[in-house]
């Protein structure tokens, strides 16, 4: 399965990772049942999966107060990805 992972062109051409780097490997680790390693690889995966699941559930079974759930979850997902990206850049390059 690891042979089919996509290449990160940001890392390839600019020599630093993008905010999504590690996401594919984290999904692969999650599919193998390695929850802790998956979280350490890409912390934004879990809130992102919950966000996407909520979008799917709302598409199939729309509920009334959808925006009260989706807006904070989108904010949490974005903040988690940005904070982990800044931490990763700081840890790798400083």
Q: Where are the domains of the chain?
A: 2-93
Contact criterion met (CB below 8 Å) for 42 and 25: yes
pLDDT of residue 10: 87
pLDDT one-digit tens code per residue, 15-62: 888 899 899 999 999 999 999 999 999 999 999 999 999 999 999 999
Band the pLDDT of 11: cuts 50, 70, 90.
confident
Residue 92: the pLDDT is 78
pLDDT at 44 (0 to 100): 94
3 state DSSP class of 33: coil
Has residue 3 got a pLDDT over 80?
no
Per-residue b or e along 14-38, where b marks 16 or more CB atoms closer than 10 Å to that residue's CB: eeebebebbbbebbbbbeeeeeeeb
Mean pLDDT is lowest, of 45-54, 56-65, 74-83, 85-94, for: 85-94
Query: How far apart, in whole angstroms, are the C-alpha atoms of residue 1 and residue 40?
Result: 20
Model's pTM, two decimal places? 0.84
78 pLDDT tier (thresholds 50, 70, 90): very high
């Amino acid at each position: 399965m690891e042979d089919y992972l996509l290449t990160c062109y940001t890392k390839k051409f600019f020599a630093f990772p993008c905010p999504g780097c590690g996401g594919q490997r984290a999904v692969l680790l999650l599919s193998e049942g390695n929850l802790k390693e998956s979280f350490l690889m890409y912390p934004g995966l879990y809130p992102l999966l919950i966000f996407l699941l909520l979008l799917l559930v709302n598409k199939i079974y729309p509920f009334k107060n959808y925006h009260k759930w989706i807006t904070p979850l989108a904010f949490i997902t974005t903040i988690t990805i940005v904070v982990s990206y800044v931490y990763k850049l700081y840890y790798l390059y400083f």
